[in-house]
Chain A
């Protein structure tokens, strides 16, 4: 004979519905921050891409600057006028972002210290010079033979926040007539 416990079946059916409602609510609540996280990930990827483009532009422009003839590099602060193979000013990249490229180029005074050698003394041995053959320290000062090149690339993030990357190098004038 079949024996069915009716009260037990009723209890199970009654509990399942609130369980599902509560579970769905918890799942929905958990999905809200996760969905936000997905959006943040997408934004962060785009932000990274803009930064990478700026860094690549910085590297390329600096390499071009180092290969330009010394005398054709302009001097001044925040130069935005392009010259030869060097692109300056507002540049629109392939990702649609406009980057502002500024160059600051200034002469650096360089002092080169050395001990001059007196080769005209009777005791001077060309193959084995002694400390006594050297004079006291002298300095060669060059005021227009080394340029300090500072390049800054800036762009706008989040509608108004300006972000920038910069690099610094030196360029020497090898075509200078040696004394």
Chain B
């Protein structure tokens, strides 16, 4: 009967183990590459959200510059507990509260508030823009921009 050597076939076992180790290293390397690619998409989505939110804020500031009086009285009406209607109308423009479908999709909303400085003698308005952007890869980004505009109320002719 042929004697059995306990060490026969050890080289194959060793090489198979080594090969398995290399394959594990290779797969983890591939995983790190795919994660790095996603990170780039994160940067783009973040920049797109920043720029769009800044643009909406510019439109809101233009409205405040063009129509400061209606905001002042609408905010005062709400602050005194007389009703929210005029302020809701002022904040509810379609151009300031809408959605965009581009390379990405985004929804945004804008609110105007008055800060109670010197019992509303000064006109300090705060514009808040909240934007939610979704990238095609399923990643979501939220941006909130707050901008305060200070002004002095002055009746014409005085």
Point out residues on A near B: beta carbons under 8 Å: 5, 7-8, 11-12, 15-16, 19-20, 22-24, 26-27, 30-31, 33-34, 37, 40-41, 44-45, 48, 51-52, 55, 58-59, 62, 66, 108, 110-117, 127-131, 133-134, 137, 140, 142, 145-146, 149-150, 165-174, 176, 178-179
A170→B129 CA distance, assembly (Å): 14
Total number of B residues with any Cβ neighbor in A under 8 Å: 62
Contact of A178 (CB < 8 Å), options: B19, B47, B51, B66:
B66
CB–CB B90/A115 < 8 A? yes
Are B33 and A134 interface neighbours, CB within 8 A? no
Bound-state CA distance A45–B77 (Å) is 59
Q: Is B116 an interface residue (CB 8 A)?
A: no
6 A-B residue pairs with Cβ-Cβ distance under 8 Å, sorted by A, are A11-B3, A31-B22, A55-B40, A128-B76, A146-B59, A168-B100
In the complex, what residues of B have CB within 8 A of residue A59's CB? Answer: 47, 51
| B154 within 8 A of partner (CB) | no
Asked if B65 and A115 make an inter-chain contact with CB atoms under 8 angstroms apart, the answer reads no
**Which residues of B57-72 have CB atoms within 8 Å of chain A's CB atoms?**
58-59, 61-63, 65-67, 69-71
* Contact residues of B: prevailing secondary structure: helix
Nearest neighbor of B75 in chain A, beta-carbon distance? A129
Complex contacts, B52 vs chain A, CB 8 Å: 167-169
Q: Which residues of chain A come closer than 8 Å to B145, judged between CB atoms?
A: none
User: A51 and B40: CB pair below 8 A?
Assistant: yes
Contacting residues, chain B, for A145 (C-beta < 8 A): 62
Q: Does B147 contact A (CB under 8 A)?
A: no
> Could you say which residues of chain B place their CB within 8 Å of the CB of A133?
73, 77
* Contact A170/B76 with A15-B5, A179-B66 known, Cβ cut-off 8 Å: no
Tell whether, in the assembled complex, residue B43 and residue A110 are in contact, meaning their CB atoms are under 8 Å apart: no
Q: Which residues of B contact A40 (CB under 8 A)?
A: 30, 33
Determine if A113 and B30 form an interchain contact, defined as CB atoms under 8 angstroms apart.
no
Whether B125 is near chain A, meaning CB under 8 Å from some CB there, is: no
Interface contact B47-A55, CB-CB below 8 Å? yes
Residues B7-25 near A (CB distance < 8 A): 7-12, 14-16, 18-19, 22-23
Question: Are the C-beta atoms of B63 and A112 separated by less than 8 Å?
Answer: yes
Q: With A41-B33, A44-B33, A51-B40 known to touch, is A110 a contact of B59 (CB < 8 Å)? A: yes
In the complex the two chains form, what is the Cα distance from A41 to B92 in whole Å? 50
| 4 smallest beta-carbon distances between A and B, as pairs | A170-B55, A169-B55, A23-B15, A114-B70
- Tell me the smallest distance from the CB of B147 to a CB of chain A, in Å: 12
Which of chain B's residues has its CB closest to A145's CB?
B62
- Separation of A167 and B100 alpha carbons in the complex (Å): 12
Q: Is the CB of A134 within 8 A of B12?
A: no
Query: Does B151 touch A at the CB level, under 8 Å?
Result: no
Is B3 a contact of A115 with CB atoms below 8 Å?
Answer: no
Choice from A33, A128, A131, A134 contacting B26 with Cβ under 8 Å: A33
Collect the chain B residues with CB atoms within 8 Å of residue A137's CB: 89
Using CB atoms, name the residue of chain A closest to B15.
A23
B residues less than 8 Å from A149 (CB atoms): 55
A45 to B18, CA, bound (A): 27
